[in-house]
Amino acid sequence: MRAPLSLFFVLAAARVLAQQPAETPKMKPEMTEFWEPVPKVVTPGKSNDAPPSDAVVLFDGKDLSRWKDKDGNAAKWEVKNGVFTVVKGTGDITTRQDFGDFQLHIEYRIPEEIQGQSQTRGNSGIFLQGRYELQVLDSYNNRTYSNGQAASIYKQNPPLVNAMRKPGEWNIYDVVYTAPRFKEDGTLFTPARVTVLHNGVLVQNNFEIKGGTEYMGLPTYKQHGKGPLRLQDHGDPSKPISFRNIWVREL
């Protein structure tokens, strides 16, 4: 017995509907919200230059117990009146703690009676992971090569602008640094990157560091893990510079 003609139309319509994609649900605000994970609470400092609650304070104005000289002994730079000053001829100092990715706050002052010119005028440096130099120099009315002035990534990238304060005033670097990553065979996977604000002004914008700092020759990468911060005793004849209020947040 034949099925009624109407049944064929019903079955055909069912097949067509089954082949059509499901209707996209109507978007609701909560469909793009997530509640986990919950960001941890960090209490900010009382001012933007004060360390937040999760910071490692590397110098609080009292002593250099978190720093050492090149031989691992106590740092020999002078601490006085809440600041510390390079003692020329004693060598660079490094943090006793090593870091990977971090946020750094550091303040430095060029002496008011500074003399000299170009690279012999208040020269020092902040070596990120002990390898990549953020230049410290008096660049207030002091011409030098652009990728060697204050706030440059030394011999690699000049600052976007010169935001230097005059000698005798405190300068501030706020740094966000991403360490390089290496493959198992020791070759580079991703280079280091750095963003720097100099006295609140953006001077390095997520710059891709080309390798370890070299005075002569081109920078290259060598595999490494975490590393310290290093401050340079440059040895130029000008009066030494001072530092204060140094803290870092591991990221």
Q: What is the CATH number of the domain that holds 91?
A: 2.60.120.560
Helix/strand/coil for 117: coil
Number of domains in the chain: 1
Are the C-beta atoms of 156 and 194 separated by less than 8 Å?
no
CA 112 to mean position of chain CA atoms: 28
- Has residue 36 been placed in a domain? no
Q: Is the pLDDT of residue 8 over 80?
A: no
Q: What is the largest CA-CA distance in the chain?
A: 113
- Among 9-13, 84-88, 211-215, the range scoring the smallest mean pLDDT is 9-13
> How many Cα atoms are found within 13 Å in the side-chain-facing hemisphere of 243?
27
- Has residue 35 been placed in a domain? no
Mean pLDDT value of segment 15-24: 66
Q: Is the pLDDT of residue 3 over 90?
A: no
Mean pLDDT value of segment 200-204: 98
pLDDT at position 14 is 56
- Has residue 13 been placed in a domain? no
- Has residue 189 been placed in a domain? yes
pLDDT at position 4 is 56
90: domain range?
56-250
Which backbone phi and psi does 146 adopt, to 5 degrees? -60, -35
pLDDT band at 103 (very low <50, low <70, confident <90, very high): very high
Mean pLDDT value of segment 155-169: 97
> How many Cα atoms are found within 13 Å in the side-chain-facing hemisphere of 145?
10
pLDDT at position 45 is 94
Token couple for 58:
């590397």
Specify the pTM. 0.88
- Has residue 93 been placed in a domain? yes
- Has residue 19 been placed in a domain? no
Are the C-beta atoms of 180 and 132 separated by less than 8 Å?
no
- Has residue 173 been placed in a domain? yes
- Has residue 47 been placed in a domain? no
